[in-house]
């Protein structure tokens, strides 16, 4: 145990995910020796993260303004919406630079054990978006033509996708698609686990 503020800092850092007591100690002593300016910047960033970040009124992604950068960007295809679980999934899809549509962040996946049902997710907002209702800003958005479901390929993600498919099939003319499931690029077939390989086989495509 260290004395006073240093131990307080170690305890606080240790509560962060992925940081054990040893890492917390190393971080704390690094901060102790850091430049004053660096500390101030970190302080500012910490203070702003709670106060300065809002959730986009359209897609639910973390944003600086009422409407996030992607939803405000007129060059992006508003008829194409990719539904993801978390804001970090938006970043993952964005990194591909392949997707020119917009997003909808659910804020999690169906998880009855964790007490997460459809009401805890932004499902109603998604249906309202697809239904073409006016947003609070009063602007009429173009009608959505395709919804891409991009949930995590695990039990909870799959259940969420199934749930959304059941809701979305009631919209006439709406295309609902799901990310393909298969082998990672640059990988070796022999190292793929049976489940992934089995899925890839089941979802095979004509090569001609």
Partner 1 sequence: MYVRELSVTDFRSWAQADLTFSPGVSVLVGANGQGKTNLVEAVGYLATLGSHRVSSDAPLVRRGAAAAQVRATVVNDGRELTVQVEIQPGKANRARVNRSPVTRARDILGIVRTVVFAPEDLALVRGDPGERRGFLDELLVARAPRWAGVRADYEKVLRQRSALLKTARHARGDTSTLEVWDAHLARAGAALTAGRIQLAAALAPHVTAAYAAVAPESVPVGARYRSKVAAVDELAGTADGQDDVTGGAAHAELAAAVEVALLEEIGRRRDQEIERGVCLVGPHRDELDLSLGEGPAKGFASHGESWALALALRLGGFELLREEGSEPILVLDDVFAELDARRRDALARTAARAEQVLVTAAVDDDVPSVLNGTRYVIEAGTVRDGVAS
Chain residues that interact with partner 1, rule: CB under 8 A: 110-113, 115, 117-118, 155-156, 158-159, 162-163, 166-167, 193-195, 198
Backbone angles phi, psi at 70, to 5 degrees: -75, -45
Residues in the chain: 208
Q: Per the structure block, which two tokens stand in for 14?
A: 């240790």
Q: Which is nearer to partner 1, 19 or 167 (CB)?
A: 167
* Beta-carbon contacts of residue 173 (< 8 Å; ≥ 6 apart): 145
Nearer to partner 1, 76 or 118 (CB): 118
Closest CB 76 distance from partner 1, rounded Å: 31
State the CB neighbour count (10 A cutoff) for residue 133.
10
Q: How many CB atoms lie within 10 A of CB 54?
A: 13
Q: Which pairs with CB-CB distance under 8 Å and at least 24 residues apart come from 118-121?
A: 118/163, 121/160
Residue entry with tokens 């910490």: 46
- Closest to partner 1 by CB, 4 or 20: 20
- CB of 35 or CB of 194, closer to partner 1: 194
Which is closer to partner 1, CB of 3 or CB of 194?
A: 194
Is the Cα torsion angle 159, 160, 163, 169 positive or negative in sign?
negative
Question: Which lies closer to partner 1 via its Cβ, residue 133 or residue 154?
Answer: 154
Q: What is the DSSP letter of 147?
A: E
> Helix 4-14 crosses helix 21-32 at what angle (to 10 degrees)?
130
- Residue 88 beta carbon to partner 1: minimum distance, rounded to whole angstroms: 22
CA torsion 9-62-97-132 (nearest 10°) is 160
């Amino acid at each position: 145990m260290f004395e006073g503020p240093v131990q307080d800092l170690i305890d606080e850092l240790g509560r962060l995910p992925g940081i054990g007591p040893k890492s917390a100690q190393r971080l704390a002593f690094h901060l102790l020796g850091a430049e004053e300016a660096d500390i101030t910047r970190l302080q500012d960033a910490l203070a702003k993260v709670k106060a300065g970040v809002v959730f986009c009124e359209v897609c639910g992604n973390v944003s600086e303004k009422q409407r996030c950068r992607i939803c405000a960007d007129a060059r992006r295809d508003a008829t194409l919406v990719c539904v993801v679980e978390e804001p970090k999934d938006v970043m993952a899809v964005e990194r591909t630079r392949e997707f020119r549509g917009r997003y909808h962040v659910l804020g999690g996946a169906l998880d009855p054990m964790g007490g997460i049902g459809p009401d805890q997710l932004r499902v109603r907002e998604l249906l309202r978006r697809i239904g073409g209702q006016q947003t609070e800003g009063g602007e009429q958005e173009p009608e959505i033509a395709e919804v891409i479901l991009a949930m995590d390929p695990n039990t909870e993600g799959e259940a969420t996708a199934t749930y959304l498919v059941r809701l979305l099939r009631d919209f006439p003319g709406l295309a609902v698609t799901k990310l393909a499931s298969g082998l990672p690029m640059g990988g070796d077939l022999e190292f793929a686990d049976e489940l992934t390989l089995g899925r890839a086989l089941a979802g095979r495509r004509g090569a001609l």
